[in-house]
């Protein structure tokens, strides 16, 4: 027997690999289901068991996942409350029946023959996201997974089947989403943020009522108005989705995309009598971002970038006026670059500016408008770093006087830069 050769049972390619191949998407990960085998036989063939709750194995050569065919029966609350059976008499059709969507419930023999008991290929051609069976409602994580698939497959314009939408809405209303752990929610958010059009994920969640449950800070933005002159797209929620997609176009960096998503949460706190203006929304938004990040145990670095963008995007935009001229005082420029830790982490400032550029472009009619502020701020920050520390020390300064002298020189350098910039560009 060759190592990795299945001598008991039959292996079938399943799930995303089959779906993506039929859509013409390049397949990177391949998962297999083995029907008619037992854990002992897999171990004897050299497979390494990795599943704790049910038998999943890694192929000794390819390291691809091979799972024994299984059935699941709801026995408790949430996505952990299942009794799993992986006996040798579980059929392929029974295994596929427990999956979420018909387009994910297809299999293929090693020879390439398609096995499609639940109409996945037809739904694939019609661009429909449809649940396989009523058992879909037993796992609340599937609400997020379907939203993520809609984002992942956005280029193909998949739509929710009406019955699936109704089922997801019922799941949300039943309170099942409360069983989701912060880690699992964040995992799905990360996967969604890494798609080409992540806004689709949040819009599907909103469509079924899940955004209000999981991210009320985002959901409330869709009723908040803004000045039409600067925001022809309308409400803050729509703007936020446009900014998120603009960030996805500008950068593959997940932290930049998350910061773009978070940047205007403060507008949700503005009293309605002050709409459509939102003075002070930047600072007001920082505690809201922090609370959301704590709730979902967002990594600290990701949270910190989002907080910086939230707090400083307004002043960064105002760094140049509508005519492209410097519009702030040297002290204000210095305050921004110090707060954004430009002197310690210049690469972080570049990411902050990317999120700010996404904010500027995430508006109807502004999608392709240039954002000269990015180059301006980077050049200004570079000028502010050219402090001659040795010369300052040679002047005999001590203690707090040294820091004061450095700040005076930074302000002087910024003033000289602004003067030169204005002469050069106007």
pLDDT in tens, 297-315: 999 999 999 999 999 999 9
**Cis bond leading into 362, ω under 30°?**
no
8 Å CB contact between 371 and 317 = no
- pLDDT tens for 50-93 read 866 678 999 999 999 999 998 876 655 555 555 666 778 899 99
pLDDT score of 399 more than 70: no
* Burial of 405: CB neighbours in 10 Å, binned 0-12, 13-18, 19+: middle
Kindly state whether residue 101 falls inside one of the protein's structural domains: yes
pLDDT of 1: 44
pLDDT of 400: 66
pTM exceeding 0.75: yes
Range of the domain at 115: 1-119
Worst-scoring range by mean pLDDT, 38-47, 281-290, 357-366?
Answer: 38-47
- List, in order, residues 6 or more apart from 223 with CB less than 8 Å away: 235, 237
Kindly state whether residue 2 falls inside one of the protein's structural domains: yes
- List, in order, residues 6 or more apart from 329 with CB less than 8 Å away: none
pLDDT of 7: 59
Confidence of residue 423 (pLDDT cuts 50, 70, 90): confident
**Strands, sheet with 48-49, edge to edge from the N-terminal-most edge strand:** 48-49, 56-58, 65-68, 31-35, 10-14, 107-108, 114-115
pLDDT of 3: 56
Average pLDDT, the chain: 91
Q: How far is the C-alpha of 276 from the C-alpha of 143, rounded, in Å? A: 33
Q: Pick the closest to residue 335 from 406, 411, 228, 229 (CA basis).
A: 411
The pair of structure tokens assigned to 284 is 């007001």
8 Å CB contact between 45 and 79 = no
Kindly state whether residue 110 falls inside one of the protein's structural domains: yes
- Which percentage of the chain shows pLDDT scores above 90? 77
Give bridge partners of residue 34 from the DSSP assignment: 11, 68
The pair of structure tokens assigned to 236 is 């803050």
Domain with residue 45: its CATH number is: 3.30.460.10
pLDDT of 390: 65
Kindly state whether residue 83 falls inside one of the protein's structural domains: yes
pLDDT of 424: 83
Residue found under tokens 């999981």 = 214
Parallel, antiparallel, or unpaired for β 71-74 and 107-108?
A: unpaired
Kindly state whether residue 114 falls inside one of the protein's structural domains: yes
8 Å CB contact between 182 and 297 = yes
Confidence of residue 343 (pLDDT cuts 50, 70, 90): confident
Q: Pick the closest to residue 235 from 224, 219, 243 (CA basis).
A: 224
Helix/strand/coil (H/E/C) assignment for every residue in the chain: CCCCCCCCCEEEEECHHHHHHHHCCCCCCCEEEEECCCHHHHHHCCCEECCCCCCEEECCCCCCEEEECCEEEECCCCCCCEEEECCCCCCHHHHHHCCCEHHHCCEECCCCCEECCCCHHHHHHHCEECECCHHHHHCCHHHHHHHHHHHHCHHHCCEECHHHHHHHHHHHHCCHHHHCCHHHHHHHHHHHHCCCCCHHHHHHHHHCCHHHHHCHHHHHHHHCCCCCCCCCCCCHHHHHHHHHHHHHHHCCCHHHHHHHHHCCHHHHHCCHHHCCCCCCHHHHHHHHHHHHHHHCCCCHHHHHHHHHHHHHHHHHHCCECCCCCECCCHHHHHHHHHHCCCCCCHHHHHHHHHHHHHHHHCCCCCCCCCCCHHHHHHHHHHHHCCCCHHHHHHCCCCCHHHHHHHHHHHHHHHHHHHHHHHHHHC
Count of positions (residues) in the chain: 426
pLDDT of 389: 63
The stretch 90-109 carries a mean pLDDT of 95
Q: How far is the C-alpha of 105 from the C-alpha of 18, rounded, in Å? A: 9
Q: How far is the C-alpha of 211 from the C-alpha of 84, rounded, in Å? A: 30
* Number of separate domains in the chain: 1
How far apart, in Å, do the first and last CA atoms of the chain sit?
Answer: 79
pLDDT of 74: 63
* Burial of 71: CB neighbours in 10 Å, binned 0-12, 13-18, 19+: middle
The stretch 392-421 carries a mean pLDDT of 79
pLDDT score of 8 more than 90: no
Kindly state whether residue 287 falls inside one of the protein's structural domains: no
- pLDDT tens for 203-249 read 999 999 999 999 999 999 999 999 999 999 999 999 999 999 999 99
Kindly state whether residue 270 falls inside one of the protein's structural domains: no
Kindly state whether residue 33 falls inside one of the protein's structural domains: yes
What are the C-alpha distances in Å from 311 to residues 253, 291, 315, 317, 355? 20, 15, 9, 12, 12
């Amino acid at each position: 027997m060759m190592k990795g050769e299945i001598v008991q049972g039959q292996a079938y390619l399943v799930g995303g690999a089959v779906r993506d191949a039929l859509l013409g998407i390049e397949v990177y990960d391949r998962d297999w289901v083995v029907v008619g085998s037992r854990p002992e036989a897999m171990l004897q063939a050299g497979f390494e068991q990795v599943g704790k709750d049910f038998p999943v194995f890694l192929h000794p050569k390819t390291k691809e996942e091979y799972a024994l065919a299984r059935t699941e029966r709801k026995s408790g609350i949430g996505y952990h409350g299942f009794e799993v059976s992986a006996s040798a008499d579980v059929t392929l059709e029974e295994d596929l029946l427990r999956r979420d969507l018909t387009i994910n419930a297809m299999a293929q023999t090693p020879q390439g023959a398609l096995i499609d008991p639940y109409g996945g290929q037809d739904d694939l051609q019609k661009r429909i996201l449809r649940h396989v069976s009523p058992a879909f409602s037993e796992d609340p994580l599937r609400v997020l997974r379907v939203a993520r698939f809609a984002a992942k497959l956005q280029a193909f314009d998949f739509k929710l089947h009406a019955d699936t939408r109704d089922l997801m809405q019922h799941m949300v209303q039943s309170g099942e989403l409360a069983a989701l752990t912060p880690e699992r929610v964040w995992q799905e958010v990360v996967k969604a943020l890494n798609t080409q059009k992540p806004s689709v994920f949040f819009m599907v969640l909103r469509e079924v009522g899940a955004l209000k449950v999981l991210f009320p800070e985002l959901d409330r933005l869709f009723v908040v108005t803004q000045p039409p002159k600067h925001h022809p797209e309308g409400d803050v929620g729509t703007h936020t989705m446009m900014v998120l997609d603009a960030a996805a176009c500008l950068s593959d960096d997940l932290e930049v995309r998350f910061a773009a998503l978070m940047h205007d949460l403060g507008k949700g706190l503005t009293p309605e009598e002050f709409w459509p203006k939102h003075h002070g929304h930047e600072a007001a938004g920082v505690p809201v971002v922090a609370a959301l990040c704590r709730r979902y145990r967002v990594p600290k670095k990701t949270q910190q970038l989002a907080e910086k963008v939230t707090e400083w995007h307004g002043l960064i935009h105002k760094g140049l006026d509508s005519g492209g001229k410097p519009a702030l005082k040297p002290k204000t420029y210095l305050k921004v670059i110090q707060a954004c830790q430009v002197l310690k982490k210049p690469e972080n400032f570049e990411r902050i500016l990317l999120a700010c550029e996404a904010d500027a472009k995430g508006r109807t009619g502004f999608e392709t408008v240039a954002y000269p502020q990015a180059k301006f701020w980077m050049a200004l920050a570079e000028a502010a770093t050219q402090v001659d520390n040795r010369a300052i020390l040679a002047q005999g300064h001590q203690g707090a006087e040294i820091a004061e002298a450095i700040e005076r020189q930074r302000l002087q350098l910024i003033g000289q830069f602004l003067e030169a910039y204005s002469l050069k560009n106007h």
